[in-house]
Chains A and B, each alone.
Chain A
Amino acid sequence: MRKYLPLIRASYMVSLVYRFGFLFSIIGNIVYLGVAYYLWKSIYQGRDVLNGLTFNETFLYVGLGSAIFILLKTYADWIIHFEIQQGTIATYLTKPLDFQLYSLFTNFGAVLMNLTAITVPTAVVMIFVFKVQVTSGIGLWLFPISLIFAFLISFSIDFFVGLISFYSESVWGVTATKDIIVTVLSGGLIPLQFFPEAMQKILYWLPFQAVYHTPLMMITKADLGWGTFLPMLLLQIAWAIILLIASRLFYNQAIKVIRISGG
């Protein structure tokens, strides 16, 4: 494991090159927060509670959701795609490294960069500009743990999608479909409580809700207690393990079809 840790630092340093980009990401997210604020304000229109959430809770959920979206946006699927397409993946195959772990740790570095450069500023804006209130409770302590598993699930899905490049030229189509499914069906854009009940029942059993809904609930309804959070966390851990294994099996399968032109 020790040989992988420097990868985190290295990819953190690489991300640091793109400082200029973070400025635009922060501006983009602040505009998004403003749009979400007005949109939900006009949806609540004087109503106190909708689907068990107050305006403050919904805005916290949606706003923080956008911050987590940026946090987990590491373009792992695209990077793997380019490595396969250009053949540079071969250089990893000759090294005494595990490609999945290599990708995981480089991604973790990028996530840390996103955290310091975008997610934290977004949270600060939410608290000081939009004045959202956070209730205290056990959920706040579970949130960081939950976020780590959310990262593992999100990474596994990206890794899986990136590997599809072994079989197909079209990454845009697959990635775009994945992005939409993951953000819409996970609570990334609207709280899951707003979905029709029949849909909610299905959504709670899919892995996507574990990426956004689980950590977001721990902040918005932090006082719900162990009875609610423990099953959520266990489901999340189960999905993280299943998807890490599944994407690994897929990798072992996919690597056999690789053909790289020499030169």
Chain B
Amino acid sequence: MRTLGEYIRLYFIIEAQYIKARMQYRADFIISSIGMFFTSLATLGVFWVILQSVPDVAGWSLMEMVFIYAFFMIAISPMQILFDHAWQLRFHVQEGTFLKYYFRPLNMMFYYMSEIFDLKGLIQLVMGIVLLIYASIQLQIDWTLLKIFLLLITLFSAALVQISIIVAASCAAFWVVESYPVLGLAWKLREFAPYPMSIFDGAFRFMFTFLIPIGFVAFYPSQLFLRPEEVSLLVYFSPIIGIGLFSLAYWIWTKGVNSYTGTGS
């Protein structure tokens, strides 16, 4: 067993090499960054257009929605940057190239995911941070040390929730040949995370809170800073939810890895 410290050191060594290699394709990085910029802003643009016609959505103003959206952008960045290789899992599994990951004395998920460090995700992270600062100034949020601590904790938990959903969905590749739609669905659901969950009722609220808990990616934790008086008690469980979901996703991954038999070629 390697220690966490060793893994972190290893990760930096691997990614330093990866980034050097990627920098050969500078145009690719620039074009992807532009794509990331527009993709990140699409849903926010939709909110902006809607709020030209009405003053608020279920009581949430544009600036509050910008805050929630900024939180969302930061929270999904670790998934985008560190776990982007999840998208290629189905190709590796189908073509048998996944076998190579069994042959290193490393944690397999670590080894597999470390192969891609998605640089364009950094654009999203930076945009999220800038927007979060902008929105907090506009909303006059008073950042105390306690609040900053809470922000870091909730962001960490939210990131784990998002990572778990994508990793678990990508693992479908171990059992079904055409697994892209499963990941596609998980990806589509992610788009609803920055919506104010208070607009939903009944089955939808239940689904986004308990079944596919995207409410914990942005809306519930943001409430802690925007409207502490309305906050749902569930937010205080978000670290447990995050860690619990990640354990579940890791368990699914392990099951998949153990059941994989290669392609026989």
- Seen from chain A, the residues whose Cβ lies within 8 Å of a Cβ on chain B are 17-18, 20-25, 27-28, 31-32, 34-35, 38-39, 41-43, 45, 47, 50-51, 168-170, 172-177, 179-181, 183-184, 189-190, 194-196
Q: A20-B176, A31-B189, A190-B50 are in contact. Are A184 and B45 (CB under 8 A)?
A: yes
Partner of B32, one of A21, A42, A173, A189: A173
How many B residues touch the partner, as a band?
35 or more
Query: Of residues 133 to 174 in B, which have CB atoms within 8 Å of A's CB atoms?
Result: none
Q: Which residue among A23, A24, A25, A31 has the maximum number of chain B CB atoms within 10 Å of its CB?
A: A24
Contacts of B30 in A (CB 8 A): 173
Within the complex, the shortest CB–CB distance from A68 to chain B, in Å, comes to 16
Query: Of residues 25 to 81 in B, which have CB atoms within 8 Å of A's CB atoms?
Result: 25, 27-36, 38-39, 42, 45-46, 49-50, 52-54, 57-58
Q: A35-B192, A42-B58, A170-B25 are in contact. Are A184 and B181 (CB under 8 A)?
A: no
Within the complex, the shortest CB–CB distance from B208 to chain A, in Å, comes to 9
Task: State whether A194 touches B53 (Cβ < 8 A).
Answer: yes
Within the complex, the shortest CB–CB distance from B93 to chain A, in Å, comes to 16
Q: A169-B28, A170-B32 are in contact. Are A176 and B182 (CB under 8 A)?
A: no
Contacts of A31 in B (CB 8 A): 188-189, 192
Partner of A176, one of B36, B57, B178, B195: B36
Task: State whether A24 touches B185 (Cβ < 8 A).
Answer: yes
Nearest residue (CB) in A for B43 is A189
> Is B262 an interface residue, CB under 8 A from the partner?
no
Contacts of B52 in A (CB 8 A): 194-196
Partner of B188, one of A22, A32, A47: A32
Q: A27-B185, A42-B57, A173-B34 are in contact. Are A195 and B195 (CB under 8 A)?
A: no
Contacts of B57 in A (CB 8 A): 39, 42-43
Contacts of B181 in A (CB 8 A): 18, 20-25, 28
- Seen from chain B, the residues whose Cβ lies within 8 Å of a Cβ on chain A are 25, 27-36, 38-39, 42, 45-46, 49-50, 52-54, 57-58, 120, 176, 178, 180-182, 184-185, 188-189, 192, 195-196, 199-201, 204
Contacts of B189 in A (CB 8 A): 28, 31
Contacts of A175 in B (CB 8 A): 35
What are 9 pairs between A and B in contact, CB < 8 Å?
A20-B178, A25-B185, A34-B204, A35-B200, A43-B53, A45-B54, A169-B28, A184-B42, A194-B49
Contacts of A17 in B (CB 8 A): 178
Task: State whether A21 touches B178 (Cβ < 8 A).
Answer: yes
Contacts of B39 in A (CB 8 A): 176-177, 179-180
A17-B52 Cα distance, complex, nearest whole Å: 45
Task: State whether B46 touches A170 (Cβ < 8 A).
Answer: no
Contacts of B201 in A (CB 8 A): 38
Within the complex, the shortest CB–CB distance from B168 to chain A, in Å, comes to 14
Partner of B195, one of A21, A35, A183: A35
Task: State whether B28 touches A28 (Cβ < 8 A).
Answer: no
Q: A39-B199, A42-B199, A177-B34 are in contact. Are A194 and B50 (CB under 8 A)?
A: yes
Partner of B35, one of A32, A47, A177, A189: A177
Within the complex, the shortest CB–CB distance from B134 to chain A, in Å, comes to 21
A131-B204 Cα distance, complex, nearest whole Å: 18
Within the complex, the shortest CB–CB distance from B222 to chain A, in Å, comes to 17
Nearest residue (CB) in A for B58 is A42
